[in-house]
Amino acid sequence: MRTEILDILRRAGEQYISGEEMANRLGVSRTAIWKHIRELREEGYDIISHSRSGYSLREAPDRLLPGEIRHGLKTRCIGRDIHFKETLGSTNTWAKQLAADGALDGTIVVTEQQTGGKGRLERQFFSPAGKGIWFSVILRPPFMPQEAPKCTLMAAVAVAMAMEKFGLEAGIKWPNDILFENKKLVGILTEMSAEMDRINYVVIGTGINVNILPEDFPEDIRDKATSLQLVNHGEKVPRVKFFQTMLEAMDKLYDEVLARGFAPVMDAWRKYSVTLGQEVRVIGVRDGEEYVGTAVDIDEDGALLVDAEDGCHRVLAGDVSIRPRK
């Protein structure tokens, strides 16, 4: 009901719409309209009222509410269904539950704050209230399970494309971290449920530091993390608009993947990469093996190819950490 009320108010522009007219259009009582208006105001909508003229929407909050995300969103699949909670332990956890219960391809889980967000290798991800974009996308692609890790690269490219549209410099550190001046902006974690020959679902969890100031970050990551606001010379970035832009980029990439495979995504990843051509140190997570070489490319599976003294190594996501050589 609140979505329909917002649609009516938006179409009216700066004109007033009476509670009686909205009630007649929606087939409810004026009291019901008044209650929904009150709830919308509590969510942060600036709705003014006039005793004779009715209601007018003057400003919408920059909050990741389903109605705000849907308004003006131009996607085919991603965002067809949006689930929101003010606070979550992890969007991936809820997304996996929804996926197991049959959630549609393209369903989104989003929150204003995560209390237990995690990145690759079980690292904690700082997700403060109202300052970032913390969300997960559920996909049900028809390709084979071994293709699923490339969805992580697709998500990284979508964020980089959105940053570019906002005039912000983006660089992807293999496999999926978005960096600016060697500080982390975005973390991505992909999880999957699959059988031998089919994917049940893929959940791509993404955390984007948007309007976080240096003093907001915990001391232990203050010199390693940054935000879109800081990249934008201190100017706040509108979270809803950026989120919509990123979802639209991911939607187009997903369509391309379904039609043509991952080759276009891999080419775009190479364009944004800050790893290729660099000397890197590879540290094995499982066996502790360590070597230095030059990152020369990614192969068709998304593995990083490192040219070292003893030959070319194929590095798989999740098995190693990549660090610039000191």
Which residues contribute to the annotated binding site for biotin?
90-92, 114, 184
Are 121 and 285 a contacting pair, CB within 8 Å? Answer: yes
**Interacting residues of 276 by C-beta distance below 8 A, sequence separation 6+:** 174, 270, 295, 296, 297, 298
Residue stretches of the annotated binding site: 90-92, 114, 184
Across 92-195, the runs of DSSP E, i.e. the strands, are: 107-114, 132-139, 171-173, 177-180, 183-194
In the block, tokens 């699959």 appear at 194
- Judged on CB neighbours under 10 Å (0-12, 13-18, 19+), 142 is exposed
User: Which backbone phi and psi does 48 adopt, to 5 degrees?
Assistant: -95, 155
Chain Cα centroid distance, residue 251: 12
Tell me the C-alpha distance between 73 and 304, whole Å.
Answer: 34
- Maximum Cα–Cα distance across the chain: 82
Which H/E stretch holds residue 117? none
